[in-house]
Amino acid sequence: MERLFAPWRMEFITGKREEGCVFCKAPAATGHFRENLVLHMGRHAYVIMNRFPYGSGHLLVIPLRHTPDFTSLTEAESLELSQLLQRSMRVLADVYHPEGFNVGMNLGAAAGAGIREHLHWHLLPRWFGDTNFLPVFADTKSIPEFLTETYDRLRPGFDGAAGVGPAAPRMGGPRP
């Protein structure tokens, strides 16, 4: 019988919680973007990799302003967040060729928000057959590469991200 170990997950489950908002700290540490997995910093929002991903390429798109209230977003914040979600989909499509995406946010404890005090979108690339028995029976996810390797693969796609283009990502295989 093979065993897959995911000890990094236990850090999230039982680890000591940091003081303050993790989503405010990461973009403030400008000299440590790779260490903090920040892929892109915008004027009103940023893109970061999920340190405890549900699957490969799990990204978060987050407003810089600390708020749990989706309805409080300004027009400029909403526009940039939407553009960064689109850009992130394009980058993931180019690098990983997923067959689909899950995009969503959980607002409030009752909705399952793990970090309730700072709203954020989850973006997960998906493939047919990417779910299996491991999460159900072993409470384990298999992530096929280290987070820093994923970061290094995705980061170039965010260079010059001010120009978020109009093309939709193609899914389901290599791009022509």
Sign of CA dihedral 84, 86, 88, 90: negative
- Say how many domains are in the chain: 1
CA distances from 166 to 43, 89, 163 (A): 20, 12, 9
In a domain, 17, yes or no: no
Tell me, yes or no, if 118 is annotated catalytic: no
In a domain, 172, yes or no: no
Inside any domain, residue 69? yes
One digit per residue, the tens of pLDDT, for the chain of length 176 reads 455 555 555 665 566 666 889 999 998 888 889 999 999 999 999 999 998 888 889 999 999 999 999 999 999 999 999 999 999 999 999 999 999 999 999 888 888 778 889 999 999 999 887 765 545 445 555 666 788 888 999 999 988 655 443 333 444 544 33
Does any domain span residue 163?
no
Classify residue 10: in a domain, yes or no.
no
167: in domain: no
Q: What is the CATH number of the domain that holds 83?
A: 3.30.428.10
Determine phi and psi for 46, rounding to 5 degrees. Answer: -145, 165
Domain that holds residue 77: 23-158
Select which of 44, 58, 120, 122 is catalytic. 120
pTM of the model: 0.76
The answer to the question of residue 116 being in a domain is: yes
- Cross-strand partners of 61: 47, 121
pLDDT computed for residue 167 by the predictor: 37
Q: Is residue 12 part of a domain?
A: no
User: HSE (CB half, 13 Å, CA atoms) of 36?
Assistant: 18
